[in-house]
Amino acid sequence: MEEQRHGGLNSIVGAWVLDLSRSDTMERFLQVTRVSEQGTRAHVRAEARHGAFNVIHLEGDTITIHRRTCANNFTESFKLDEEKVKYDGIVRTRISELVSMPSSGPTGYVRSANSTAISGGRDDVHMLESRHIMEGSLSHTQEIRLHNLTTGEHCVTNRVWTRVPMTDEHQATIGLLLLAEEPSSSSARILRENT
**149 forms bridges with which residues in the sheet?**
none
H-type alpha helices, 107-167? none
Per-residue DSSP letters for 179-191?
A: HSSS--HHHHHHH
pLDDT tens-digit series, residues 120-147: 667 899 999 999 999 788 999 999 999 9
Measured CA to CA in angstroms, residue 64 lies from 45, 56, 74, 143, 157 at distances of: 28, 6, 11, 19, 22
**157 forms bridges with which residues in the sheet?**
144
DSSP structural state of residue 84: E
* Residues 79, 189: Cα–Cα separation, whole Å: 20
Residues composing the chain? 195
Query: Strand 84-88 to strand 73-79: parallel, antiparallel, or no bridges (unpaired)?
Result: unpaired
Which pLDDT belongs to residue 176? Answer: 55
* Residues 106, 114: Cα–Cα separation, whole Å: 24
Which pLDDT belongs to residue 194? Answer: 33
Which pLDDT belongs to residue 161? Answer: 97
User: Going from the N-terminus, what domains does the chain have, and what CATH number goes with each?
Assistant: 2-182 (2.40.128.20)
Which pLDDT belongs to residue 131? Answer: 97
This prediction's pTM: 0.81
pLDDT in tens, the chain (195 residues): 333 344 666 799 999 999 999 999 999 999 999 999 999 999 999 999 999 999 999 999 999 999 988 778 889 999 999 999 998 877 788 999 999 999 888 899 999 999 998 876 678 999 999 999 997 889 999 999 999 999 999 999 999 999 998 877 766 665 554 443 344 433 333 333 333
